[in-house]
Amino acid sequence: MEAALRGEGDPPPLLLAAGPSEYWRDRLVEAYRAGARAAGAEFVRLEGDELDATSLESALESLSLFASSRRLWIREGAKIAKPCEERLLQWADAPPAGLAILFTTARTPDELKFLAALSAKSTFVACEERPGELQREAARLAQAAGLQCPSGLLEAIAARAGSLLLLRQEIEKISLLADGSGRIPPSAADVLSGGRGAASADRWAAAVLRRDGAAARAEAAALAAEGTSVGNALWAVASIALAALEPAAAGYGYRRAPPGPTLTPAVARAALDAVYRADRAMKRGEIRDAQLLDVLERDLIAPGGSVVRNA
């Protein structure tokens, strides 16, 4: 659809882009505007909550003095007045050549009778975010911006963004750090989510000990992108486990035990054993630094329920 809107074909006479994702609505509007420029068409933006019947009629019937065609964008159309709804439905029955309308709203057709009726007379695009889109869009946005990102950075950004709109903001943020060739330094992880995105070995350890595989993998990607020492990850797991076995001694020694799940003694001992075995294997050269987090995740995240006491 975006390709058609940008000029690789004719846009539909009436396109309804409806749904909660502002990111996808923005993408369609951007393509629609670009297509108007490419075709030399007049582009007119109308605000749904300010539109009255007279203004709409004028936009639908007036001929452009400067272009052979016209594209209208009715923004947040769910807020238009009843007479405008009726006129649009009437127009959609016989749209004239040379005029196309993009109608956007955060509402969905199943919420309003007018939108349901309009969707039946238009080309409908559901603007909603689906599983897996964050990863795909992170790669697409980085490629479109010509960015060369360190390993794991895009995965960390996608895991932390939570929405496509925030994802786009994070990509724009790190793009400011690119050199002339588009290369992003590993330190870019420090600016994620206003500084909140800095990698955390403690968060990774807590996720592993909760057996939260998704959170652990996201944090591991951030650690890899930032280049954080894997020794910090080992110590983070050991600190939580030691605090579970000897609560009175928590904080005594190198540092205070990081926050984490409450472990049973058996699980705490198993965690310490996994740390010991991983550390020994790394020192013997049996595993590389880059494999350490994967090895610990494999040993500590397993089927059978949570390791948290009373979870």
| 146-163 confidence digits (pLDDT tens) | 999 988 888 888 877 767
Range with the poorest average pLDDT among 117-126, 133-142, 189-198: 189-198
The answer to whether the CB of 107 falls within 8 A of the CB of 77 is no
pLDDT at 67: 62
pLDDT at 227: 65
Give pLDDT tens digits for 246-302.
754 444 333 444 556 767 788 888 888 888 888 888 777 777 766 777 888 888 875
133-195 CATH fold: Helicase, Ruva Protein; domain 3 (1.10.8)
262 vs 237, which has greater pLDDT?
A: 237
Domain ranges of the chain: 2-126, 133-195, 232-300
2-126 CATH pick, 3.40.50.300, 3.40.50.720, 3.40.800.10, 3.40.250.10: 3.40.50.300
The answer to whether the CB of 204 falls within 8 A of the CB of 225 is no
Q: How far lies 174's CA from each of 75, 116, 130, in Å? A: 30, 41, 24
Q: What is the mean pLDDT of residues 104-113?
A: 91
Using pLDDT thresholds of 50, 70 and 90, give the confidence band for residue 309.
very low
